[in-house]
Amino acid sequence: MRVIVEPDRDEVGRRAAQFVAELVRRRPTCVLGLATGGTVLGTYAELIRMHREEGLDFSRVVSFNLDEYVGLGPTHPQSYRHFMQQNFFDHINIDVRNTHVPDGRALDFEAHCEQYEKHIREEGGIDLQILGIGGDGHIAFNEPGSSLGSRTRLKTLTEETVRDNARFFDNEDEVPRLAITMGVGTILESRRCLLIACGESKAKAIRETIEGPVTAQITASALQLHREVVAILDEEAARLLERREYYRQVEHAQTLMRSGQMRPLSPTR
């Protein structure tokens, strides 16, 4: 896993947005996997700025969101569809027909989840999946104990997640207890993952994700099995990492290689 530590939340947002923008420029028809939550707001704000000021073009981009609360319709102020419209889609030129968020009011959840997976496959799979992380180490709503091979399905939220997310609702009782979420297995199939974390409250989960064993108790740790993950962290979220100095050296070497000052050794014959 590549680990990039930035000084603060704003820099994390800018850095993550650069990865997304680079892909959108190179492949205008790319498929993005999108996340909700406080952490990704900086990334979306920077992408909106790039769209407005630099003409970053989302007109042919396709997107799939990770999850949605069960019971909330698309116009409910706490639904993730509403979050995406307010914080991203309404400010860029993406075609809303190309944006997909699970339907929290589907009549047949099992069929809807299967259809969601099928739709991702039909679009050619996710090129870049953006991920936040929960204090309990979840990715999407894959709570501790989720199978690492899981697919899109219904999931019961833990008390910790309900408490964490209560800040967006009037009170804790209003937080739905069930969500539709892409599975860990679904996420692992994306071509590249961008894990974003900010703040002290994520430090322990980040250490366990990056330096702990792979375990269903910390579903983000399954990312260690993925072929291409970039973790972009602020100082606080990176605080408990033991190999921070090494990650810094790796980034330094990458910068030198990109600038041509250092070349990888040619393979021996």
Residues that bind ligand PGA (CB under 6 A): 37-39, 132-134
Positions annotated as catalytic residues are: 67, 136, 138, 143
3-class secondary-structure state, position 74: coil
Helical H segments across the chain, by residue range: 9-26, 41-54, 80-87, 109-122, 159-165, 184-188, 203-211, 235-238, 244-258
d(C-alpha 234, C-alpha 6), whole Å: 5
* Cβ 235 to ligand PGA shortest distance, Å: 16
For residues 98 and 216, which CB has a smaller minimum distance to ligand PGA in the complex? 216
Q: Least distance to ligand PGA from the beta carbon of 16, Å?
A: 12
**Nearer to ligand PGA (CB atom), residue 23 or residue 133:** 133
Let me know if 123 is exposed, middle or buried by CB neighbors in 10 A (0-12, 13-18, 19+).
middle
Output 99 or 219, the one with its CB closest to ligand PGA: 219
Buried b (16+ CB within 10 A) or exposed e, 52-64: eeeebebeebbbb
Q: Which is nearer to ligand PGA, 33 or 132 (CB)?
A: 132
For the bound state, the minimum distance from the C-beta of residue 190 to ligand PGA, rounded and expressed in Å, comes to: 16
Q: How far is the CB of 135 from ligand PGA (least distance, A)?
A: 8
> Alpha-carbon distance 130 to 83, whole Å?
15
Closest residue to ligand PGA, judged by C-beta, is 37
